Structure 1
Amino acid sequence: MDIRGMRYFVAIVEHGSLTRAAEVAHVAQPALSQQLAALEAELGVALVHRGAKGVKPTEAGRTLYRHARAILKQIDVARADVKVAGADIAGTVAIGLPTTAAAAFGMPLVRAVRQRYPGVRLQLFESMSGYIAELLNNNRLDFAILFRDTPSRAVELEPLASEALYLVGTPPVSAASKRHRARSGKEATIALKALADVPLVLPSGAQGLREVLERHASGAGIRLQVVADLDSLPILLQTAREGLACTILPASSLSREPDDDALPTRLILPELDRTLSLCWPRALPRTAAADAVAEALREIVAAKIAEGGSLKPARA
């Protein structure tokens, strides 16, 4: 395997088309096809499935893709380190933010990077946490914010903050009757076990929020009444606004639309929270630029915690 062949293969997987990959790589398609065939012959396995709708990686292809991304990243890092040795921080930093985190930290981070590190090119991916985790596992991100509290063999975690979760929307009368006022007399609450009676729309099982909820529900001996899996924050909120079902979100998720101020919210008791963690892929080297952007993000999160809003320090 050579570097050029790995770059071509990565382009094929990411674009799902030999034609498009050839255009991006600035090479003739027959030459690209020959490179792919030579790579498959060298490794002795099929790397892609060819079909009418394009090409998709085989299991062997997905494995090679992950390694190729890591190797190419290492080469890019070495090249950048040599070029900027003794100079200002520069380079490309790719980060992933789930939709709710992007709403809170996206623009402050863009401003901070532009002000402090004009030589850094920021690539910000906003999506549901399941897709962000997939990008991270495939070594396509320098780091990401994810709602996790346990590391893995592929990902190293740095807890930054925690957020309480709220029932959003108007629950049925039987469940609503179980809510009560907190000691302050200001904040409506609902018992965790009462959620078994509430029709819910939630992100799918691949998302961090859903994993937290399912784990707590199981611990309480209840089964959540999920009527739809919706991997879209705007649609989750609109469903709650229209009274079709309730959803469960942190308070920070309610700041995107003016109408969200009128949405009923109830703190779930015993209190449920999710941990906001800085996640680094173990297979990739950390660049000076990535470390600098991560430090800026830490400062933004710390400032949000100091404001006294929904974000709290991460639990030990």
Structure 2
Amino acid sequence: MDIRQLKYFVAIVDAGSLSKAAQKLYIAQPSLSQQMAALEDELETQLLLRSARGVKPTTAGHALYQRARAILRQMEQLRADVREDGGSESGMVAVGLPTTIAAVLAVPLFEHVRKHFPGIRLQIFESMSGYISEMLPDGRLDLAILFRDSETHGMSVIPAFDEELYVFGHAGLKLRKTATTCPLSALAGVPLVTPGTVNNLRLLIERTFLREEVELHIVGDIDSLPALMAIAHGGSACTILPASAMLHRAENARPPMRRIVAPDMSRPASVCWSHALPVSAAALAVRKAMVGLIGQLHADGRWPGITLRPPPDAATLEDTSGSV
């Protein structure tokens, strides 16, 4: 087994396809297949499940994938440390941001890192929260913002803020046009479009309506923020989202927006990192920048609809759990 084989294996799992991985790696697919067959022979176990829809790792393959990601990241950091005289903030840092969070944080984070840490190459992955929560434990991300406020096995968190939720749109709502809030009871039977069933927001909506005994009427599962907002603006259904969803939309493209009350609906958000990868000096610098920027953007009025959590203590902010 060598570093090249690990790199090939990780590329295949990330791409979900031998042909796509071969194109990305600029090698012939038969050669890539031979390398994987040799790796499976050496480890005496099947690593990949092949089908007409692509490939995915076996249980053993998933374990190898996590370790291989960590090894490759360590090799990358080692090169960066040597080039930068050993230990300065440099190298690749991958950050996952839910779509509504990315709308506010992605550009300021990039600009801050570019200005203060020119040796860091930042990767920002924007997606729905359910997908990001899968990428972090797999080692594909160094950091992420996830909608949780407690640690789980193998994952550390810094609770950052609580995000208020709003109903966007007017379909089926019997409220005054000037109303700025919407009682949850007023959403009984109102046609709603929401993200799919694995999404954190969808689970929160279902649990809240069930707990308050309010009729939930979901008419579409839409895993696209622009589509959710367009549907709400068009008037065929409403949606439930945080205020940040509308920040970069033109005034004439913003549907009516009312904060949900009685009870309030909100969700916690935390800066998270997995113990599957070593915490490099670069990742630690980006983590601190994320925590600081969240507070600054809120103080400047550029992040409405959130309530900040108490700032973390120095020990938490410097936590390097996961380092090896």
Q: How far did residue 144 of structure 1 move?
A: 0.8
- Alpha carbons of 1:282 and 1:221: their partners in 2 closer, same or farther (altered >3 Å)? farther
How far 1:109 moved relative to its partner? 1.0
**2:309 match:** 314
Letter in 1 for 2:162: S
1:102-146 CA distance string (max 9 Å, x none): 110111111111111111111111111112122212111110112
Q: Does 1:157 align with 2:149?
A: no
Give the share of equivalent positions with the same residue, in percent. Answer: 47
Mark the CA change 1:42 to 1:123 in structure 2 (over 3 Å): closer, same or farther: same
Counterpart contact for 2:167–2:241, Cα < 8 Å: yes
Is 145-154 or 266-275 further displaced after alignment? 145-154
Matched residue, 2:321: none
Report the TM-score, using the length of structure 2 for normalisation: 0.85
* Counterpart pick for 1:288 among 281, 292, 295: 281
1:68 offset after TM fit, Å?
1.8
Distance in 1 between residues matched to 2:103 and 2:245, nearest whole Å: 8
Amino acid at match of 2:174: A
Give 3-state SS (helix, strand or coil) of 1:72's partner. helix
* 1:32 corresponds to: 32
CA shift, 1:257, in A, is 1.5
Q: 1:170-249 residue pairs with structure 2 within 5 A?
A: 170-172=170-172, 175-176=173-174, 188-249=180-241
Cα distance, 1:163–1:261 mapped onto 2, change above 3 Å: farther
Query: For 1:61-72, what aligned pairs fall within 5 Å after superposition?
Result: 61-72=61-72
Q: Within 5 A, what are the aligned runs for 1:1-316?
A: 1-25=1-25, 27-86=27-86, 88-172=88-172, 175-176=173-174, 188-259=180-251, 262-269=254-261, 270-308=263-301, 309-314=304-309
2:192 partner amino acid: L
Query: Counterpart of 1:176 in structure 2: which amino acid?
Result: K
Q: Distance in 1 between matches of 2:305 and 2:61?
A: 43
Normalising by structure 1, what TM-score? 0.87
Give the equivalent residue in structure 1 for 2:317: none
- Alpha carbons of structure 1 residues 19 and 267: separation in structure 2 relative to 1, 3 Å: closer
Whether the 8 Å CA contact 1:154–1:282 is kept in 2: the answer is yes
Report the count of equivalent residues. 308
CA drift of 1:32 comes to 2.9
CA offset digits 1:36-76 (Å, max 9, x no partner): 11222233332223344543333432332223212322333
Q: 1:217 to 1:74 in 2, by over 3 A?
A: farther
Using the alignment, how far apart are the partners of 1:43 and 1:251 within structure 2?
A: 51
**What amino acid does structure 2 have at the position aligned with 1:91?**
G
Q: CA RMSD in A?
A: 2.5
* Residue pair 1:149, 1:277 contacting (<8 A) in 2 also: yes
Partners of 1:13 and 1:71 in 2: how far apart? 16
Following TM superposition, by how much is the alpha carbon of 1:223 offset from its aligned partner in structure 2, in angstroms?
4.6
For 2:258 and 2:291, how far apart are their aligned partners in 1? Answer: 29
Q: Unaligned regions of 5+ residues in structure 2, if any?
A: 312-324
Change (3 A) 1:257 1:24: closer
